[in-house]
Structure 1
């Protein structure tokens, strides 16, 4: 049975889709900003399918040209300004709360949870951070909740080993972990860790009441925009995440979408 949740606007439709894990795992992979963080949806579905976990995709909720910017994984948006385009300042609004509640509801459905918290939420996002000279920063930034420092050190070590084993040297992208590297070196620059997911941790899907543990990946363009490299990283992330939860080998997760009123 297919369902979908959608908000219809002029232009592209904002919609949410989900696939239910074949077991009651409480483990979900999500891409809440597809259409703005391009090529994160397919990556999330591929990783979830390989692991037998649930997945949730929200697409086109961030569409500045069409005058909307919902943050999806927290109850905030950038309201329209006088010119019809989203302003920079975010605000909690009734519309943003409605979008966030839909996202949270689908996370629970995808993880086969009636209520409470997921055991693990993995979110894939995309960034286009640039250096002062205009070059883009090709680094994965990982913000987390619910992990002890030794666990994160082991995760970072495992990532480096998998990248060495599964990727060619030119395809490898370094990983910076929030709690381990508040500053990191890249291309001759010392950079502050930027993508902390602070609001989602405080009021959204990354709160401990919603996810006992969470991994918030910000992926650079180098990973997302090349199909071959994207597929390679999907395999790598599946191997990286496998020890963090139950793993099955189903033919496919049950796939569902929900359409709103």
Structure 2
């Protein structure tokens, strides 16, 4: 019987065990007094938490449009509210829908200490924690390939590239909505910028938008554009959407941001359907 099964079979419920392991890893003790007389090292405790909090990539919907379009949230449980935006926009626009959960640890609400799992999913790299240097690894490459496969499946296509990938992320570095891109020229970026600004004129609480290649971005998604999902090999048009903190802090602001992003992406979908060579 696996260690996890032995521990949970002794009436210690999963949440209690997780909390005890979090407390252990957050302290200085070197061994966790497990049940059955077996002590756990810090590495074993982290591995056990990885079993209790599984990382997974889910295809939640298949695109039903003439163009192959997918919304994705690769950093759920790390990028706050990214799943909220991804889910609702995908359902409303009838596009494919992919989420990846629990691959990046040290989220204050769900994984308050590092459990040795900070895999970036939308690129074939991991790091030793938030803000640390990225490096390629076998497990990171495997996760990234699984993510690309999920995008393809959600698009309804037999192979990549899809026509549109919209990735949802969240940030707190600036008050702006920032969109890094692939397959977007200045003319298309200007069209989307003008469309969004027409919405903003009627909705003054919306943040300013910056979109590449029209603007210089603080959050340029360089790693994902170099070797990850924000490349034309993956999607003819790719949007890496960074939603600012201010627009995630209340339901009214989230709804405002949600509707505006949905309308902007829908405008792009209409352009892609009308002119398949637009990018």
TM-score by length of 2: 0.72
Greater per-residue strand proportion = 1
CA contact (8 A) 1:33 1:61 kept: yes
Residues 189-212 of structure 1: CA deviation (Å, up to 9, x unaligned) = xxxx22111121121111211111
Contact preservation (8 Å) 2:184, 2:213:
no
1:51 counterpart residue number: 93
Residue number among 27, 47, 56 corresponding to 1:15 in the alignment: 56
The answer to whether the aligner puts 1:206 opposite 2:230 as a matched pair is: yes
State the partner residue of 2:9: none
| Contact 1:223–1:230, Cα closer than 8 Å, also in 2 | yes
Aligned counterparts of 1:24 and 1:164: Cα–Cα separation in 2: 31
Aligned to 1:179: 213
Structure 2 Cα separation of the partners of residues 181 and 244 of structure 1: 18
Match of 1:144 in 2: 181
Please give the root-mean-square deviation of Cα atoms over the aligned residues, in Å: 2.1
CA distance in structure 1 between the aligned counterparts of 2:105 and 2:243, rounded to whole angstroms: 19
Larger radius of gyration: 2
Cα distance between partner residues in 2 of 1:246 and 1:154: 12
Please show how residues 1-261 of structure 1 align to structure 2 within 5 Å: 9-18=50-59, 19-23=61-65, 25-64=67-106, 65=113, 66-79=115-128, 88-129=132-173, 137-165=174-202, 167=203, 169=204, 171-182=205-216, 193-245=217-269
Query: What's the secondary structure of 2:50's corresponding residue?
Result: coil
- In structure 2, the gaps of 5 or more residues are 1-48, 107-112, 272-279
* Contact kept? 2:192, 2:268, Cα under 8 Å: no
Q: Displacement of 1:148 after TM fit?
A: 1.6
User: What is the aligned length?
Assistant: 216
Distance, in Å, in 1 between the alignment partners of 2:130 and 2:253 is 33
Greater helix proportion: 2
